Structure 1
Amino acid sequence: MVKNALQAQLLKAGLVDNKKAKKLSKQAVHEQRTGQSEEAELKAKIAQDKQEKLAKDQALDLEKKRLLQGKELKAAIIQMIHQHKIMQTDGDVSYQFIDESKIKKMYLNQQIYNALVSGSLVIAKDGESYAILPKALAERINDKMTGFIIVNNSEKNEQITDEEDPYAAYVIPDDLMW
């Protein structure tokens, strides 16, 4: 009457009746004969879910690695700025520049001021302050990550001039003192 111990236990507990137990046993026998079962569908769904989870985990891992590399690069650039900044810059000559749409002023000695105007030195952001660096180091920093170099007078800024502008022929020098 009952083919396995589990069905006997279910019958005793009153969870299934004889009709349902026979139907389940017939269905199990039919699945064994035909080879069709819901297990194959479940296994396929589980395998697909595992593949999706693996792909999602790999994408998250790549994103974490990219963020970590960005942080490492930023830390390396900050370390380069700290190691190579010119320390003895205090002087009487004021140099004004723009940082984030605000005019900033630094007091420099004449030699540093001349080097900044000629483009052999640059101003870089050093946390909340500013550092003066050699041009070669600034180019290496810009190749790695932009946003650190604020003033680089060696770059030729091509400005579009209006043809009707009567003052277009007059160039304003970078070292103009006010």
Structure 2
Amino acid sequence: MVKNALQAQLLKAGLVDNKKAKKLSKQAVHEQRAGLSNEAEIKAKIAQDQQQKQARDQAIEQEKKAVRHEKELKASIVQMINQHKIRNTDGDASYQFIDDSKIKKVYINQQIYNALVAGSLVIAKENDSYAFLPKALAERINAKLEGFIIVNNSEQNEQTTDEDDPYAAYVIPDDLMW
């Protein structure tokens, strides 16, 4: 007569009599039959929650992929800079440039200095120091990810002057030595 183990235990313990157990089981059956409409709502809510969780998981996964891709890209750029940087640049000529709103000064040889001023070389940030790279490599790096190239004088050399500028005839040299 008893439908579940809990009712059997309650009967043995003497906490519930047979009449009360039958009433409770009938009530449970009635709730189960009446709860079929609620069951559909519950299933719909569960499905909706699963879809929301899946959408959140996909968004988190895409964010992780983007972060991982950016890390890989930065690592490949640092590797490119390290492989292609010009070594033995020490010299007496000083070159000043702006990095993060601070004026930085490097001492380089005259050949590197002339190439920087002409725009055939650029200065790139390499960890905590600076590297001198060919312009073609700098363009490839900027195409992948910006922020590594600090000084690129080829862009300034290519700028055209305004026709209405009264001082257009006066060229301001970049390589003045003070």
Aligning the two structures, in what range does the TM-score lie when normalised by the shorter sequence? 0.7 to 0.9
Instruction: Please identify, of 4-13 and 126-135, the stretch whose mean Cα deviation from structure 2 is larger.
Output: 4-13
State the 1:35 CA deviation. Answer: 8.1
Q: Taking structure 1 as reference, are residues 139 and 21 closer, same or farther at Cα in structure 2, changes over 3 Å only?
A: farther
Instruction: Give the TM-score of the pair, scaled to structure 2.
Output: 0.81
How far apart, CA to CA, are the structure 1 residues paired with 2:87 and 2:80?
A: 14
Q: Taking structure 1 as reference, are residues 39 and 15 closer, same or farther at Cα in structure 2, changes over 3 Å only?
A: farther
Quote the residue 1:93 is aligned against.
93
Task: Give 5+ residue unaligned stretches, structure 2.
Answer: none
Counterparts of residues 82-121 of structure 1 (less than 5 Å): 82-121=82-121
CA displacement, residues 153-175 of structure 1 (integer Å, 9 cap, x when unaligned): 000375998x8x97565332111
Quote the residue 2:138 is aligned against.
138
How far apart, CA to CA, are the structure 2 residues paired with 1:26 and 1:48?
A: 30
1:3–1:25 contact (8 Å) kept in structure 2: no
Instruction: Please identify, of 45-54 and 94-103, the stretch whose mean Cα deviation from structure 2 is larger.
Output: 45-54
Quote the residue 2:154 is aligned against.
154
What is the identity, as a one-letter code, of the residue corresponding to 1:45?
A: K
Quote the residue 2:81 is aligned against.
81
What is the identity, as a one-letter code, of the residue corresponding to 2:128?
A: E
The RMSD of aligned alpha carbons is 3.0
Q: Taking structure 1 as reference, are residues 175 and 15 closer, same or farther at Cα in structure 2, changes over 3 Å only?
A: farther
2:123–2:149 contact (8 Å) kept in structure 1: yes
How far apart, CA to CA, are the structure 1 residues paired with 2:127 and 2:171?
A: 34
Q: Alignment length, in residue pairs? A: 174
Q: Does 1:8 align with 2:7?
A: yes
State the 1:4 CA deviation. Answer: 1.8
Instruction: Give the TM-score of the pair, scaled to structure 1.
Output: 0.81
What is the identity, as a one-letter code, of the residue corresponding to 2:154?
A: S
How far apart, CA to CA, are the structure 2 residues paired with 1:28 and 1:78?
A: 70
How far apart, CA to CA, are the structure 1 residues paired with 2:147 and 2:63?
A: 22
Between the aligned residues of both structures, percent identity stands at 61
How far apart, CA to CA, are the structure 2 residues paired with 1:46 and 1:88?
A: 67
What is the identity, as a one-letter code, of the residue corresponding to 2:109?
A: N
Quote the residue 1:22 is aligned against.
23
Instruction: Please identify, of 149-158 and 101-110, the stretch whose mean Cα deviation from structure 2 is larger.
Output: 149-158
Q: Counterpart of 1:154 in 2: which secondary structure?
A: helix
